[in-house]
Structure 1
Amino acid sequence: MKKSSFDSKTAIVIGGTSGMGKATAKLLLEHGAKVIVISKSQASVDAALTELSAFGEVSGVRLNLTSDIEVANYISILEKDGRSINYLVNASGIFAPKPFLDSTREDYDALLDINRGFYFITQAVAKKMKTNGGGSIVNIGSYWAEHAVKGMPTSAYSMAKAALQAFTRHAAMELSDDKIRVNAIAPGIVETGVLDELMGSEEGVKEAYKGFNSIHPLGRNGQPKDVANAIVFLLSDEAAWITGTVLDIDGGLAAGRS
């Protein structure tokens, strides 16, 4: 992939301060893009900027995707900003397995409300892309959007990710005439900080991830850079004839579990 395909172009990475989103932001910076990372926590924005600034031109925005007011305010800022937005990555999310019969309205809203923020920010960015001749969008879906694992109950999470993947295909069709490509990736188990709160200790997290390695046909869990490589490919000119695709990045899980 030629670095010049990203040179001086601007990317927004929602959820770009941790995990797969931060790895994507770093790789985009290394390829010459200017990157705006978005997170609901100012502390995570500040920490990410400190780390990522070594790789290129990066700025940050604190934004709670589930707040209609904050999303509307950010869209207003986008509309007034004269800069072109060439790339958008919707990477924010939470993973909190919980049995369907025990799930609460709060659990449901925490997962599904993120999509509402994605939807309207993507709409605003797509309008800018249309005006400026096109762009590329990648959403992070999930293996669990289309697959169920009995020992890991994720009904609300899967519902949210399945919706995001359906949105990907529909947006790709509607925006194709405007030279805007929309794709998604569906990761399997990727070693990020997503289990930290669930497991309660660093050792617990390590043991949990260790136990997941063997279910992948390729014999290991994914790393954030595995996912970032795929996202940056889909954003790039190398993927110019790809839109409406949900790409499995899962060590072979979608084909079958070991």
Structure 2
Amino acid sequence: MAQIFAIIQGGSSGMGLATAKRLAARGVTPVLVGRNADKLSTAKADIEAEHSVDVMTWQADVTNTDDVQSLVGKVDALEGNIRYLVNAAGYFSPKPYLDHTAQDYDLYHDYNRGTFLLTQAVARKMTATGSGSIVNIGSMWAHQAIKATPSSAYSMAKAGLHSMTQHLAMELGEKGIRVNAVAPAVVETPIYGAFIPEDEISQTLKGFDAFHPVGRIGTVEDVAATVDFLLSDEASWVTGAIWDVDGGVMAGRN
């Protein structure tokens, strides 16, 4: 029986790592993609200590064109069944529109370029086996603007990811591949370290508890549970969906 792989872009921390752990619990072999070797090593050790799987790690920066080309080559060469792909890598640092530089804009959209090409390589492998499930980590910010966290370039990029999700669902459905996305609101993850000191992230984000109708910010496990469901055969009739995993934020105004 062919080995079943799940490629998790951004799998060394946050939502990606939480999802990788859930997949490992189902006997799937996670392939963690991340740019920090130490974080990848730690994530691999954590998963292997909890589950009877061998974890693979690919060190790469998806905003770097050479690294993306190398990733595509690794996907092409991987022997086994790539059943799942989760695109969870990202960057978030709020900045007013008038203060954005071209470099700020390029960084966000370089993530999308890398995601586009990696997903294309994986989709080709999935096409060869006639099945696969892909989940993209989008954002609530792609649905609505939040004045307290101005993020025009980030939101453009995430809106593009949502759109790609729907287009791929239409094109790849007949090949047995489902493509969905989740759109989280405020979730406690390391991504906020771009503008909040690491030891202050938890306390700072608690200030957004009341922003969510359920009364609290999200956890990586909250999002990973939904991603895991969308990847699974339990969601076999769901594709092209962008699910709000946001504690009720999109339901209305608080």
Q: Which range, TM-score by smaller chain?
A: over 0.9
Q: Which residue of 2 aligns with 1:245?
A: 241
Contact 2:190 2:198 in 1 (8 A): no
> 1:8 Cα deviation (Å)?
5.1
> 1:89 Cα deviation (Å)?
0.2
Q: SS at 1:53's partner residue?
A: helix
Aligned runs of 1:203-242 on 2, under 5 Å? Answer: 204-242=200-238
> 1:175 Cα deviation (Å)?
0.3
> 1:195 Cα deviation (Å)?
2.0
Aligned runs of 1:45-194 on 2, under 5 Å? Answer: 45-54=40-49, 55=51, 56-194=53-191
> 1:201 Cα deviation (Å)?
5.2
Q: Which residue of 2 aligns with 1:3?
A: none
Deviation string 1:80-115 (CA, Å, 9 cap, x unpaired) is: 222220000000001110111001111111111001
Structure 1's consecutive aligned runs of 4 or more residues displaced over 3 angstroms after TM superposition are none
Residues in 1 aligned to 2:198 and 2:134: alpha-carbon distance in whole angstroms: 35
Residues in 1 aligned to 2:198 and 2:5: alpha-carbon distance in whole angstroms: 37
Residues in 2 aligned to 1:257 and 1:17: alpha-carbon distance in whole angstroms: 34
Letter matched to residue 46 of structure 1: S
> 1:140 Cα deviation (Å)?
0.3
Deviation string 1:117-144 (CA, Å, 9 cap, x unpaired) is: 1101101100100101110000000000
Q: Unaligned stretches of 5+ in structure 1?
A: 1-6
| Alignment partner of 1:24 is 2:19 | yes
Contact 1:33 1:57 in 2 (8 A): no
| Alignment partner of 1:13 is 2:8 | yes
Residues in 1 aligned to 2:232 and 2:126: alpha-carbon distance in whole angstroms: 15
**Which range is displaced more, 64-73 or 116-125?**
64-73
Letter matched to residue 239 of structure 1: A
TM-score (norm. length: structure 2): 0.95
Residues in 1 aligned to 2:54 and 2:65: alpha-carbon distance in whole angstroms: 29
Q: Which residue of 2 aligns with 1:42?
A: 37
Letter matched to residue 33 of structure 1: V
Q: SS at 1:199's partner residue?
A: coil
Q: 1:214 to 1:58 in 2, by over 3 A?
A: same
> 1:52 Cα deviation (Å)?
1.4
> 1:257 Cα deviation (Å)?
3.7
Contact 1:8 1:32 in 2 (8 A): no
TM-score (norm. length: structure 1): 0.94
Letter matched to residue 57 of structure 1: D
Letter matched to residue 240 of structure 2: G
